[in-house]
């Protein structure tokens, strides 16, 4: 039990599909994050939500749309993705943005 | 620009030996935190050790310790008595604070293999 649960674990989709990634944290944290992890590259911060409000959008294309209905849940809606979007998408949470983050196991996304 | 550099893409060490992973960073900030995260094949990122920049004493966590050289902007991780379960990707990161709160900047990672 990691405390941060991501589903699905793997996702294969075509470029015209619409899908969503889900993240749930059971730690009572107030901040949640989406990261993209591509091979041989540093983790890239995509979005930050603090108390359900988006506080960071790191120049992410609009084909990625985050949603944070409450402090425990975070979604990443995917639409018309490109092959270069294939990566591991990691969700994380922290009590406050200044405190260490706890990560989920990630969703391995493959775009055909 | 805030950057983290891990110059060793891959390393290997014999079980029970000691290995040091290097990390340098660049920031104009004076207050920040430094972290080492471990990512085993299970993919979960696990916090290994944390260092506050204002502390001169190097952090230690069981077999893991750091050598923090603030002037040189260096933050290496030493793993003593390496175990097979230490095989993983290791990421160095630092956290800075902006108007919107803390932000983690990661390095590219070092893939460590512990051999029996």
Q: Is the Cβ–Cβ distance between A102 and A29 less than 8 Å?
A: yes
Pairing label, strands B110-115, B10-14:
parallel
A100, B35: Cβ pair inside 8 Å?
Answer: yes
Torsion angle (degrees, nearest 10) of CA B77, B80, B85, B87:
50
Can you say whether residue A69 is alpha, beta or left, with left for phi > 0 and alpha for psi between -120 and 50 degrees? alpha
CA-nearest of B37, B16, B22 to B67 is: B22
Q: Is the Cβ–Cβ distance between A35 and A90 less than 8 Å?
A: yes
pLDDT in tens, B58-91: 999 999 999 999 999 999 999 999 999 999 999 9
Q: Can you give the pLDDT at residue A58? A: 83
Backbone angles phi, psi at A93, to 5 degrees: -140, 160
* Residue of B7, B102, B111 to mutate, testing the A interface (most A Cβ within 10 Å of its Cβ): B102
Indicate the residue of A41, A97, A102 with minimum beta-carbon distance to B102.
A97
Q: Is the Cβ–Cβ distance between A89 and A36 less than 8 Å?
A: yes
Residues 39 to 78 of A: which have CB under 8 A from any B CB?
40-43, 45, 48, 50, 55-56
Torsion angle (degrees, nearest 10) of CA B116, A38, B70, B114:
0
pLDDT at A1 over 70: no
pLDDT at B42 over 90: no
pLDDT in tens, A31-73: 999 999 998 788 999 999 999 888 888 889 999 999 999 999 9
């Amino acid at each position: 039990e990691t405390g941060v649960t991501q589903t699905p674990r793997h996702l294969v989709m075509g470029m015209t599909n619409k899908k969503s990634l889900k993240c749930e944290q059971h730690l009572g944290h107030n901040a949640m994050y989406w990261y993209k992890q591509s091979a041989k590259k540093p983790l890239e911060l995509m979005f930050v939500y603090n108390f359900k409000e988006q506080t960071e959008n790191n120049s992410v294309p609009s084909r990625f749309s985050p949603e944070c209905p409450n402090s425990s849940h975070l979604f990443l809606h995917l639409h018309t993705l490109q092959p270069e979007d294939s990566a591991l998408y990691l969700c994380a949470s922290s009590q406050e943005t200044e405190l260490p983050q706890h990560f989920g196991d990630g969703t391995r996304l493959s775009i055909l | 620009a805030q950057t983290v550099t891990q110059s060793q893409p891959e390393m290997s060490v014999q079980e029970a030996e000691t290995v040091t992973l290097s990390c340098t960073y660049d920031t104009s900030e004076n207050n920040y935190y430094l972290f080492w995260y471990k990512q085993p094949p299970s993919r979960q990122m696990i916090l290994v050790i944390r260092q506050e920049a204002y502390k001169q004493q190097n952090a230690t966590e069981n077999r893991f310790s750091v050598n923090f050289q603030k002037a040189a902007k260096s933050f290496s991780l030493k793993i003593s008595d390496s175990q097979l379960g230490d095989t993983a990707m290791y990421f160095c990161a630092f956290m800075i604070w902006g108007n919107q709160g803390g932000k983690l900047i990661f390095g590219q990672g070092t893939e460590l293999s512990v051999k029996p």
